[in-house]
Chains A and B, each alone.
Chain A
């Protein structure tokens, strides 16, 4: 707030305010990060230390054996691969359909634009759980149950609103002159879109891709409903099951949870600015 900078100049009280502010920030960051840090600690200590009461604050003899164990578990490797395939393919398909629809909405003129946009956005308020039974029957009828496609198709539909919404926002920011120039030179609408808009919008498309990927990577309901076997199940389905597989091996469960979140944490650290701009693009008109 404007007042904060003003009091900041007022000397002693300002310094105290500023110190309190950083204490507040520190607590906030600590609370946000604590579970990850603590579970990481649980994953690198020995079993004896894990069951120690009172718990140790810092690990006494760090060990990587839990990681060796879960990485040598073929089921876990397969689950990571499944997650990567499902989220990767979902992202590609979603960007393809999403970007052509978004271009049409952002740039072309047609009468039923508002209902079309409302219909797409309505999906973000749609309770996915309400359609798992009919989808289960449909997918069974066409033999898609327990294939990647069952998860991918459902994920695409529920990721589309965010993809379209973000891409519409990004496409609208681009200058109109270039594609108009291309059209004057005889390019069709499709060509103008492919040759002019897509390359220009690359940063926005990339941001959208990150958010779509995270959405698909984190999806659980469809995966657990439609995928039955370790050959197709992603990590979100497999890891909670570790709780019954490695009943009291809490270290292995902790290690598995850490492994799955590390790619996300790295992505967040690198792309935090983009992700924030994408997340808030829709909610705030500025």
Chain B
């Protein structure tokens, strides 16, 4: 410790200022445990996943280096491609629906009314459920002998076969359940954003003769834009990582990117290396999605006051 600090003093400047000052030193000690656990449990493993994905690895041995072979095999694996397609469809459709329905709900309930508490609680209930338990509940309702949704859909001629035995219907099902579960959350975020827009801005626009539609386009949307980006980024990344819902609702039938990784790593373990390649693929693409939101769409990430 002493040699380290004298060396820092010799280097002087920035580091001395940072670690020589007792208050600043305390500040670093206080963030250190959180940083360490994050580095050890999240960032170190991702490097290890990269390493494993470049080897002929199994759960028991690291195996020899094989370059990008696992990746090329992965892209030729129909299960992976199915998972990728399903994940992309699921993400695009569910996030779009959640955003538009959530925006309509937020606009509608952005006023003082009786029973606000009840509505807020109703909004939170689906959000607070464990996803797997929601999936179990909906699976019971989709079930062909006792399921109300299957019964009704069948009675009005919407479906010609049981929901749970058809992969397309299952994909529609997971999208519906996700919309049910997270639209209220999106509405809640957007509502909080709407409430930060001061009322006199609308008042002024009205005096100037702007109609409802103009006020929405010229005031609400631009001022809500930062909140919209936050909501969309969270939802997109959440949907892209989907695991619980696919796994439990379809009883392991429907493939997503995450279920492909899980099966490779944990269930079959024969595709351990390919599972790691898919892990790295998900990590990199999720990272690119976040970058896209921050750089291209201009999402603010500043954490300063």
A240 engages B27 (CB within 8 Å): no
Question: 1/0 per position for A189-222, CB-CB distance to B under 8 A?
Answer: 1100000000000000000000000100110110
Interface residues of B (CB under 8 A from A): 14, 17-18, 23-24, 26-28, 30-31, 33-35, 37-38, 41-42, 44-46, 48-49, 52, 59, 105, 107-113, 115, 117-126, 128-141, 143, 145-146, 148, 151, 155, 180, 184-185, 188-189, 192-193, 195-196, 199, 202-203, 206, 212, 226-227, 230-231, 233-234, 237, 240-241, 243-244, 247-248, 251, 257-258, 261-262, 265-266, 272, 275-276, 279-280, 282-283, 286-287, 290, 301, 303-305
A32 engages B125 (CB within 8 Å): yes
**A188 to chain B: which residues have CB within 8 Å?**
26
| 10 nearest A-B pairs in the assembled complex, by CB-CB distance | A280-B192, A134-B45, A108-B27, A104-B30, A134-B48, A131-B45, A218-B130, A101-B34, A130-B279, A130-B283
Within 8 A of B (CB), among A155-183: 156-158, 160, 164, 168, 172
Within 8 A of B (CB), among A105-163: 105, 108-112, 114, 116-121, 123-138, 153-154, 156-158, 160
Selected from A157, A248, A272, the residue in CB contact (under 8 A) with B124 is A272
**B155 to chain A: which residues have CB within 8 Å?**
54
**A285 to chain B: which residues have CB within 8 Å?**
196, 226
B261 engages A286 (CB within 8 Å): no
B37 engages A119 (CB within 8 Å): no
Interface residues of A (CB under 8 A from B): 1-5, 21, 24-25, 28-29, 31-33, 35-36, 38-39, 42, 50-51, 53-55, 97-98, 100-101, 103-105, 108-112, 114, 116-121, 123-138, 153-154, 156-158, 160, 164, 168, 172, 188-190, 214, 217-218, 220-221, 224-225, 235-237, 239-240, 242-243, 248, 250, 253-254, 256-257, 260-261, 264-265, 267-269, 272-273, 275-276, 279-280, 282-286
Q: How many whole Å from A225's CB to the nearest CB in chain B?
A: 5
B45 engages A135 (CB within 8 Å): yes
Which residue on chain B has the smallest CB distance to residue A98? B34
**B44 to chain A: which residues have CB within 8 Å?**
134
Known A5-B111, A283-B193, A286-B196; contact A129-B262, beta-carbon cutoff 8 A: yes
B52 engages A129 (CB within 8 Å): no
B304 engages A114 (CB within 8 Å): yes
**B37 to chain A: which residues have CB within 8 Å?**
97, 153, 156-157, 160
Selected from B30, B113, B180, B272, the residue in CB contact (under 8 A) with A108 is B30
B132 engages A109 (CB within 8 Å): no
**A109 to chain B: which residues have CB within 8 Å?**
23-24, 27
Known A153-B41, A280-B192; contact A55-B148, beta-carbon cutoff 8 A: yes
Given contacts A100-B30, A101-B34, A110-B24, 9 further A-B contacts (CB under 8 A): A39-B141, A108-B23, A111-B17, A130-B280, A136-B59, A157-B41, A240-B248, A279-B189, A285-B196
A128 to B157 CA separation, bound complex (whole angstroms): 40
**A237 to chain B: which residues have CB within 8 Å?**
132
Which residue on chain B has the smallest CB distance to residue A244? B251
A109 to B272 CA separation, bound complex (whole angstroms): 45
B48 engages A239 (CB within 8 Å): no
B42 engages A131 (CB within 8 Å): yes
Complex A-B: 7 CB contacts under 8 Å = A125-B286, A135-B41, A156-B37, A214-B128, A225-B262, A265-B125, A286-B195
B265 engages A154 (CB within 8 Å): no
**A243 to chain B: which residues have CB within 8 Å?**
136, 139, 251
B23 engages A189 (CB within 8 Å): yes
